[in-house]
Each structure stands twice: as C-alpha cells, then as structure tokens.
Structure 1
Amino acid sequence: MDNCKDNLIIEGSGNSAGGKFKTVKIKGNGTIDGDIACDDMKVEGECTIYGNLKAENVKIKGSSTVKGSFQATDIDIQGSTDFGNDVTAGDITAKGQININGNFNAEKFCMEGAFKIRGLLNAGELELKLHGPSEAREIGGEKITVKREARFIFKRIEKLITPYGFNTCLITDVIEGDEIYLEYTKAKIIRGNNVELGPGCEIGLIEYKDSYKQDEKAVVNNYKKM
C-alpha cells in the first residue's frame, strides 16, 4: 500500500485516530476512531472501528465491530463480528457469528455458524454450514450449498434457549444460482439451473432450467421448469 506508515500495534487497551499502515495488530481491546487502511490486520480480543476499513488480509479472533464499510481481499473470522455497512471481499472464511447492516459481496464465502445480512448476499461460491438461525434478504451465486451442522453441543445450547428445540434454518426471500443444494431453508422463490432440496426446506416456488430433486422431508408449494 503506497504512502503507508510503519505499523500500528495495540496491546492491552488503546486507541488510534486511524490512517494508513502496513500492519495493524490489536491484542486486547482496541479502538479506531476514524478510517483505516492497511496491508495486513490481525485482531485478537476486541476491536471497534468507527470509520471505514480497507485492507488486503484480515484475521479476526474474538469480537469486532466495523461501523463503516469494509473492503478486504482475504478475510478469516473466528468469533463475532458486526458490520455497520456494506462488505466487499475476495475470499472470506468465518466461524462464529456475523451481522451485516448492508449488502455483502464476495468471490467465495465459507461460513460455519450463524449470520444476519439485512441486504443482499452475493458470492461466486457459497458454502454455508448453519449452527444457528441465519437470514439474508436475497442470496445469489454460481454455486450455493446450505447445510445444517447438527453438532451435539449446539443442540444442547439451543434447547436451553428455546422451548421448541433445535430449529436452526436459513430464512430468505429469494435464492438465485446455477448449482443449488439446500437444507433447512425457508424461501419464497428459488431459481436455478440445477436445484436439489434436502430435508427441512420450506419453499414457495421452484423455478429450474435443467434438473430438480426434492427430499421427501422438504415442502414445496409449486415448481416449474423454465
């Protein structure tokens, strides 16, 4: 990154006004009061960024909040992250929980956990392993795979917080893609070339071009070939 400063390192508790850096490392509790741009960013602990974040590589382990927009080439998240605006990424791998108060665009999105995206979720390849209730207004991609990972510990936790037991699912209005495989998904419309529904799906309308398969435990109101 041109015209960048040396490095920004926060250990324990500290804050920065923002700016351009080569490397940003936060271990503990860090606060960035403005926009920040860097090549590499690594967070272990808690971090709040009140401006926009632009970086090449980002690794987050813990709890982070970005109030502005977020743009990065490669993102690795382990924990909980809240984004106050749009997110643009190359490849993003996440384990935990993500909340996005905007649109999300990526080349590849691999998620294991739960998410809430108030806008559009768009990626070339989506691989979603659900451990909790998740939602997006609309979802688009070339290859879309949604599965529910019914780990024993997640079952026990959800039984404690809801009287209805393990009801993890993905909720969205529309899903559009080329290759689509879904489990435990509730949607109004699904459009794709090849569509396969696994167990736990509740779909209003399926529109497919080439092939359509449905598990006996999936519920579909109507389907038609385009």
Structure 2
Amino acid sequence: MEKGHNLTINGSGNYSGGQYDKISIRGDATLASDLECSAFNIFGTSEALESVKTKSVKVFGEAEVKGNLESEEMLIMGTMTVGGRADLKKMKILGTLDVGDNLTGDEANIKGMISVGGDVEYETFDSSGGFEIKGLLNADKINISLRFGQSFAEEIGGGVITVKKKSNTLLPFGKETGMLIAKVIEGDIVSLENTRADIVRGKSVKIGAGCQIGTVEYSTELTQDKNSTIKTKTKL
C-alpha cells in the first residue's frame, strides 16, 4: 500500500477518495470515491460512498461504508455500517457493526452487537454480546456467552462449538439470561445451554439446561440435562 499524505477533518464537508496514510475524522465528512489508507480513525461522523481498504479501522463515532470494507484490524466503540462485504482479519466489537453481505476474517471478539446479511466465516468466533446472522456462522472454534436478549444464526457450523448462559451483573433487576436460536448447529464437539435449534449434529453432543432441540444426531456420545428437551435422538 503506497503511502500518501495524512487527512485530518475537523469540520464538515465532502472529500475525494484516493490514497492516504492516516485519516482522522473528528467532524462530519463524506468521502466520494474508493479509499486506501494505513489507518482510518472516526471520532465524528463519516460516510464513504464507495469501498475502503485499510490496515486499521477505529470507530469511536459513527461510520458508514457504502461499498466493501477490508481491514487487518478493527476496533468499534461506536457504530459502523458496511453496505457490501467486510473482510476484517482481527476485529473487536464493543459497539455495533452492521454488514449487508458476508463477513470474513481470522479472529472475531464481540462484546457489542453485530448484524450480518450474509455468511460469517472466521477461524475463532468469540461472542459475549449479541448477533443476528442471516446466513451461516462458520468457525473452527465458536465460543458464545449468552448474557441477555436473543442471538440468531440461520446455521452454525464448526469444530468446537460452546454456548453458555452467563448471568448479567449489569442488570440489577431480574435474572434475564440470553437465548441462542438457530435452525441447524453442526460441529465435532457441541456443548449447548439456553439454545433453541431444529437440528443439532455432532460427534460428541452435550445438551445443557434451557435447551429446546428438535433432533439430535450424534456419532460418539450424547448427554442431556434434565432441564432441557429433545424431541428425537439418533445415533449415527
């Protein structure tokens, strides 16, 4: 990536795209064409009308990319919207991320909320926040801690899939816990709590408390908590 000059925006206005080194937006900026830079930092409000390719994105305010987004590192404390697909190698979401198409990368750490219109594919997917994935969530290692609300994925596939309920110490009233909803969950080692699914498949399957499962298909072992329901059990 060629290094250009830095772009710092404190006011508001429209700016051309092109190649930059570091971009820092503290005001309200519209970027008109494709953008390539080493760092993209949003403290105010930013709208990129085309695609963005960068090494690092940090969003503390509100950012929108109408096209595709490609970044090696991503930190979101505010709100980020991507109209197309997003390739975020290492992302940490403390705020909200909305992706219109597919989301891919290596490491996903979600403490906030993500919404994805397509598939999500990572090496490791770690969530203690919430998600809505309209396609397939696929990762070698999936670790989901359910604190509150509902998380949803059409299908979930991986090597090791662990879903645990976690009490939310931030809510002083009641004992609301989260719920995971998926049509199909398939992995080698699957351990679930507070999950509703039509089909669960795996070599070793553990159905913990709070689960409502239609069919479990397993090849090695199946254990079931007394506070869970499974309509059909099939050993393959």
- TM-score above 0.5: yes
Q: Is contact 2:29-2:47 (8 Å) kept?
A: yes
Specify the code of the residue in structure 2 equivalent to 1:200.
G
Coordinate RMSD, CA, aligned = 1.6
Q: Is contact 2:25-2:42 (8 Å) kept?
A: yes
CA distances 1:57-114 after superposition (whole Å, capped 9, x unpaired)? 1111111111110002111110111111110111010111111111111111101111
Deviation at 1:8, TM superposition (A): 1.6
Inter-partner Cα distance in structure 1 for 2:52 and 2:225? 48
**Does structure 1 residue 110 correspond to structure 2 residue 120?**
no
CA distances 1:141-196 after superposition (whole Å, capped 9, x unpaired)? 0010111222143473xx6xxxxx83631111110001111001011111001111
Q: Is contact 1:108-1:124 (8 Å) kept?
A: yes
Inter-partner Cα distance in structure 2 for 1:155 and 1:216? 28
Go from structure 1 to structure 2 and tell me whether the alpha carbon gap of 1:209 and 1:155 turns closer, same or farther (over 3 Å shift). farther
Partner residue in 2 for 1:192: 202
Identity of aligned residues (%): 35
Partner residue in 2 for 1:6: 21
**Does structure 1 residue 29 correspond to structure 2 residue 45?**
yes
CA distances 1:108-128 after superposition (whole Å, capped 9, x unpaired)? 110111111111111111111
Deviation at 1:38, TM superposition (A): 0.7
Inter-partner Cα distance in structure 2 for 1:225 and 1:64? 44
Q: Is contact 2:200-2:216 (8 Å) kept?
A: yes
Inter-partner Cα distance in structure 2 for 1:185 and 1:154? 21
The partner residue of 2:187 within 177, 194, 205 is 177
Tell which deviates more after alignment, 145-154 or 123-132.
Answer: 145-154
1:75-224 equivalences in 2 (<5 Å): 75-131=91-147, 132-154=149-171, 156=173, 166=176, 168-224=178-234
Inter-partner Cα distance in structure 1 for 2:141 and 2:171? 26
Q: Which has the greater radius of gyration?
A: 2
**Does structure 1 residue 66 correspond to structure 2 residue 87?**
no
Specify the code of the residue in structure 2 equivalent to 1:125.
K
- Tell me which stretches of 4 or more aligned residues in structure 1 moved more than 6 Å: none
Q: Is contact 1:171-1:187 (8 Å) kept?
A: yes
Unaligned 5+ segments in structure 1 are: 160-164
Deviation at 1:31, TM superposition (A): 1.4
How many residues align structurally? 219
**Does structure 1 residue 55 correspond to structure 2 residue 65?**
no
Deviation at 1:13, TM superposition (A): 2.0
Inter-partner Cα distance in structure 2 for 1:178 and 1:169? 22
TM-score (norm 2): 0.88
Q: Is contact 2:168-2:176 (8 Å) kept?
A: no
